Amino acid sequence: MQINKKLAHLAKRRQQLIEQAAAQRIALARNIEPLRKPLATTEQGIRVIRYIKQHPAFAIGATALFGLLRRTRAVQWLKNGWAMLQITRSLRNFL
């Protein structure tokens, strides 16, 4: 009889743990949903960095192009780029 009580207790405990794990999976899915977009963006940025590391000619070429441009044009590009970055950030925060 002792063995049957132990088995019944173990079966009940197992069922409780299965239900608890299911509830935890649901809670985790609900909590991680808001992070999907930022994590995808971060992952894409990491891929770009890895690609540039594997193909340094692009970085060298961009630097050379930047150096060849007249200073005023480069400053104007930087201003435009900075403005676009600020607009993008404000829109992202707004949405």
User: In degrees to the nearest 10, what's the CA dihedral of 34, 52, 63, 38?
Assistant: 0
Cut 0.85: pTM above it = no
pLDDT of residue 2: 82
pLDDT of residue 95: 61
Burial class (CB in 10 A: 0-12, 13-18, 19+), 13: exposed
pLDDT of residue 25: 96
Rounded to 5 degrees, φ, ψ at 68 are -75, -30
Name which residue leads in pLDDT, 66 or 4. Answer: 4
Determine the average pLDDT of the residues in 35-51.
88
pLDDT band at 70 (very low <50, low <70, confident <90, very high): low
Q: Any idea what DSSP says for residue 69? A: S
Q: How many whole angstroms from its chain centre is CA 92?
A: 15
